[in-house]
Amino acid sequence: MLGSIRRFVAEPIAPVRRRLRARVDVFSRDLRMLKGSLLGKHPPPFRERHATATELTLQAAASPRVVRVSAVTRETADCVSLVIEDVCGAPFAFSAGQFFTVIVHIDGVAYRRAYSASSAANVTDKVTISVKRVHGGLVSNFIHERVVVGTEFAVLGPSGDFVVPPLESEASRTLVMIAGGSGITPIASIIRTELASGDRTKLILVYGSRSSTDIIFGRELSALACAYPDRFRVVHVLGEANERVTPHAGVLDREGLSAVLDRERIGLESIDRCYVCGPEPMMDGVRDSLVARGMPVGNITFERFLAPRAPSFDARADEPHTVTLRHKGRSLDLVAMPGQTLLEAALAAGEALPFSCTMGGCGACKVKRLAGSVAMAEPNCLTETERREGAVLACVACVLSDLEVEVG
């Protein structure tokens, strides 16, 4: 098993990844240490069938598993869905809205990319990811052209906090989901999961696509709106006017969204939370529009499909520093050497912190700074609010003084 894991995480593309690869053995072996040191008890082996959801999530987030593609569905000309299943039959424990990191080898080099689950989270023996082709993109084109039923690759995860919190008993809520293009993938997972579980969440989806043929999951969304008329409503917005499909033409920028909300009489006063996922310019316009209409920014959750870029470090530590990891009242000290990221230092010490992209693009390695200072490579995916709240991305954090962080 470990042999095949090593094969799939071989040949990294940057020095940081080379060092991380050498430590994959350490993660696998030290999954026990993760709980031993941070949770206070020993974890079961990676393929243990009776692990709890939390244990599975912790293990899978830190260590790759090999999956096989069991179905390929072309959603649109540019989007393909892959159903993946663990080669050993182990279940997937994830929350709707989370993503997995796919590791594929192209010409002998391993590339990692994040793809959100688009399937419901309550189906645990398989996961669907849906990949939109990016012009000139390495991995998305590889998946479109080379991945077929039976293809095997490794995945990490689940990761991410683009998730809907559980409902308090007796409570009900209305959520607005705003998606653009492939940003529908995590939102589709949330919609499928929420509609299938209980009847106290109402959902309104505003979904922007270039044209009617670019609408991903179009038929299923219409079918869900018919099946749950009191709980789910979908409003399409198309770049090219198409009155047969929707009265809304244009883009989901600040003015575009406001016009749609007015015309559809969607008043934000009755909305509990908004979830937004789409191209970068859309996200900013949507945030401005929602905030201008009175939605507190803290009630809006964003998922950004940032492409990983080689991070650039401006700062470098001159001497080793002590790092204290805290988790649920327990603590552990380790040393960060000059030139090591916080993630590398933790992994070197045998602490299997979760990580995914290793390039500041996904948020999987987020910890909270309690004391001390770090410098992070930019750009990275942290929002201003997360930065203000002390969030640190361990994979791109250079430790500049003795440091104390809260994990998980």
Residue span binding ligand FAD (CB under 6 A) among the ranges 11-19, 48-56, 133-141, 262-270: 133-141
- Nearest approach, Cβ of residue 354 and ligand FES (Å): 8
* Residue nearer to ligand FES on the CB measure, 183 or 308: 308
Tokens 């602490």 belong to residue: 351
Q: Give me the long-range contacts of 333-338 (CB less than 8 A, separation at least 24).
A: 336/399, 336/403
Q: How far apart are CA 287 and CA 79, in angstroms?
A: 26
DSSP-derived 3-state class of residue 172: coil
- Closer residue to ligand FAD, CB minimum distance, 97 or 256: 97
**Which residue in the set 104, 131, 376, 397 belongs to the binding site for ligand FAD (CB under 6 A)?**
131
Nearer to ligand FAD, 104 or 345 (CB): 104
Contacts with 7 (C-beta within 8 Å, 6 or more apart), sequence order: none
Q: Which stretch binds ligand FAD (CB under 6 A): 14-22, 247-255, 264-272, 302-310?
A: 302-310
8 Å CB contact between 239 and 209: yes
Partner touching 360 among ligand FES, ligand FAD, none, CB below 5 to 8 Å by kind: ligand FES
Map tokens 């653009």 to a residue.
180
CB of 359 to ligand FAD, least distance (A): 10
Report the C-alpha dihedral over residues 357, 127, 9, 382, rounded to 10 degrees. 10
Alpha-carbon dihedral 395, 161, 280, 194, rounded to 10 degrees: 160
Contacts with ligand FES, residue ranges (CB under 6 A): 355-358, 360-365, 393, 395
Q: Tell me how far, at minimum, the Cβ of 355 lies from ligand FES, in Å.
A: 4
- Judged by beta carbon distances under 5 to 8 A according to partner kind, the member of ligand FES, ligand FAD, none in contact with residue 275 is none
Residue type, 318: D
Q: Is 361 in the site for ligand FAD (CB under 6 A)?
A: yes
Nearest-angstrom CA–CA distance, 344 and 320: 13
Could you say whether residue 239 binds ligand FAD (CB under 6 A)? no
347 binds, among ligand FES, ligand FAD, none (CB under 5 to 8 A by kind): none
Any contact of residue 134 with ligand FAD (CB under 6 A)? yes
Long-range contacts of 15-23 (CB under 8 A, 24+ apart): 16/341, 16/344, 16/358, 16/395, 17/110, 17/358, 19/344, 20/343, 20/344, 20/347, 20/355, 20/358, 21/110, 23/344, 23/347, 23/348
- Name, in order, each residue with C-beta under 8 angstroms of 235's C-beta and a sequence gap of 6 or more: 204, 205, 206, 207, 246, 248, 260, 264, 266
Smallest gap from Cβ 252 to ligand FAD, in A, equals 15
The answer to whether 354 contacts ligand FAD (rule: CB under 6 A) is: no
Q: Binding residue for ligand FAD (CB under 6 A) from 138, 167, 225, 391?
A: 138
In whole angstroms, how close is the CB of 127 to ligand FES at the nearest point? 19
Q: How many helices (H) and strands (E) does the chain have?
A: 11, 19
Which listed range, 13-21, 43-51, 113-121, 323-331, lies at the site for ligand FAD (CB under 6 A)? Answer: 113-121
Tell me how far, at minimum, the Cβ of 283 lies from ligand FES, in Å. 18
Helix (H) or strand (E) holding 190: helix 184-196
Residue 355's binding partner, choosing from ligand FES, ligand FAD, none, with beta-carbon cut-off 5 to 8 A by kind? ligand FES
Considering the rule CB under 6 A, would residue 164 count as an interface residue with ligand FAD? Answer: no
In DSSP notation, 251-313 reads --SHHHHHHHHHHTT--GGG--EEEEES-HHHHHHHHHHHHHTT--GGGEEEE--PPP---B-
Q: Binding segment for ligand FAD among 128-136, 229-237, 247-255, 265-273 (CB under 6 A)?
A: 128-136
CB of 110 to ligand FAD, least distance (A): 12
Residues forming a β-bridge with 238: 209, 249
Residue 188 Cβ vs ligand FES, minimum distance, rounded to whole Å: 23
Applying CB under 6 A, does 251 fall inside the site for ligand FAD? Answer: no
Minimal distance, residue 50 CB to ligand FES, in Å:
29
E strand spans, 25-164: 65-76, 79-86, 99-106, 109-116, 127-132, 152-159
Contact residues for ligand FAD, defined by CB under 6 A? 99, 113-116, 130-132, 134, 136-141, 160, 182, 185, 305-307, 361-362
